[in-house]
Amino acid sequence: MHGMHIIAGRRTDGSGPEFTAEDPRSGAVVWRGRAAGRAEVNAALAAARAALPAWADLGRDDRRAVVLAYKDALEARKDALAEAITADTGKPAWEAATEVASMIGKVAISIAAEDERCPERTTPMGAHRAVLRHRPHGVCAVFGPYNFPGHLANGHIVPALLAGNTVVFKPSELTPLTAEVMVEAWQAAGLLDGVLNLVQGGRETGEALAGHAQLDGLFFTGSARVGKLLARQLADRPGVMLALEMGGNNPLIAWNPSDVEGAARLIVQSAFVSAGQRCTCARRLIVPDTAAGAELVETVAALVDRLQIGPDAEPAFMGPLISNAAADQVLEAEAALARAGGRVIRGAVRPVAGRPWVTPGLVDVTDLAGRPDDEVFGPLLQVIRVPDFDAALAEANATRYGLAAGLVADDAGLWETFLCRSRAGVVNWNRPLTGASSALPFGGVGDSGNHRPSAAYAADYCAYPVASLEADGLSDIPLPQGVRP
């Protein structure tokens, strides 16, 4: 059984409360140990601080060599890592394998992004020169989410280490096993002890880490509620780089596509892949209040009926939610919509007693006044019928979030209008809303983030620019005005 932290290259027990992590499919315990208390958090930050000079001074090429060795270590462990992801999250094997592939691909993408976003550049200016360099912030915390316990944490850690930072990594307490395998891969790559430290635990561990005086940066992926708590905790520390990615209540407009079946496949993929546990999943489907709109919704419902879900499904479209509490929240959210006047087209159900599999829910909320603007993190899609495209755009933007938005339509003119007027950081046309390129920035506006997009732009928050004017001597410095010769 696992259950330890990794600090300065060594495994150590925790001094906090004991906790366990379960495989959502079966309830089997996959990790058991004591959370990192303040003593372990202090030790992890001290180790990161001690390792910082050697790692930052190593030079860009030498750091890249270690990161490329990490890529090879992931390749060698890809089966074990996929098994850990499945055990932690319940994802089907095919989906865990795609997550590992994304982690491996992140290395080359991050190196290319660093070259583009954080170049080292010299511009001659006569007798002197202007030089641009980038320096690491220092000791950074990475808070990982449970929905992509490998890929999303990896998306912070790789660029942070490339830039010369050292890292204390706190994964979700729901997915600790994946984090252990990741850190073991870094150790196999020859990473210097203390450059990456792992502390496991929940809220108390996170609060101790986020509030620590030794912290220079904090990179977080998770809910808006927790992200706001972190922002408040660091409100009087503007010198700490804070990068937040916090999800969304994402709209998907489907406006009279000629290929109704294809549109339905895209909608189902957008709303329900990963059991609806992607921050870019479609939460609101906006359609015209016409016979064509009704036909599309019925086609989506019919496709939902064909999805293979449950422990005996092979292959499974999706796995369970992360926990029974998460499953309960989805069913409670659907019930609340129904009580308020929503029309349940397909009701979410739990097909396996005591386990968090949930079938997709589809609810028409057109007639609800004051629809809740919440991110329901699971397979629940709300349908809104509108009279015209202007109303569709207004509905799409009627959210405090702004992560992702999508349009399914044949008309390129509608796309141009949607692109110009949509308020979101990821805006797709005739592609699943859950599709996002790691070679592009990833982030949103409003309650979806704090303008620190990740993916290709992660390099921006992992280093700060240093602008220098330099000369080899002083012979060209003129006598200042107003000084007697």
Amino acid letter for position 72: D
**Residue 341 CA neighbour count, 13 Å, CB half:** 9
Q: What do you get for the CA distance between the two ends of the chain, in Å?
A: 80
Confirm if 383 and 366 have CB atoms less than 8 A apart: yes
- Closest Cα to residue 277, out of 315, 223, 227? 223
Catalytic residue, chosen from 245, 334, 375, 395, is 245
Strands (E) in 37-105, as ranges, are none
- Tokens representing 164 are 């010369």
Say if residues 194 and 166 touch (Cβ distance below 8 Å). yes
Active site residue 395: no
Sign of the torsion formed by the C-alpha atoms of 192, 198, 199 and 203:
positive
Tokens describing residue 50: 């001690």
- Tell me which amino acid residue 422 is: S
* Maximum distance among all Cα pairs of the chain, rounded to whole angstroms: 93
Contacts of 89 (CB under 8 A, 6+ apart): 24, 96, 146, 147, 149, 175, 319, 322
Residue 239: both structure tokens together = 């010198």
Contacts of 48 (CB under 8 A, 6+ apart): 139, 166, 167, 168, 194, 195, 197, 214
Catalytic residue IDs? 245
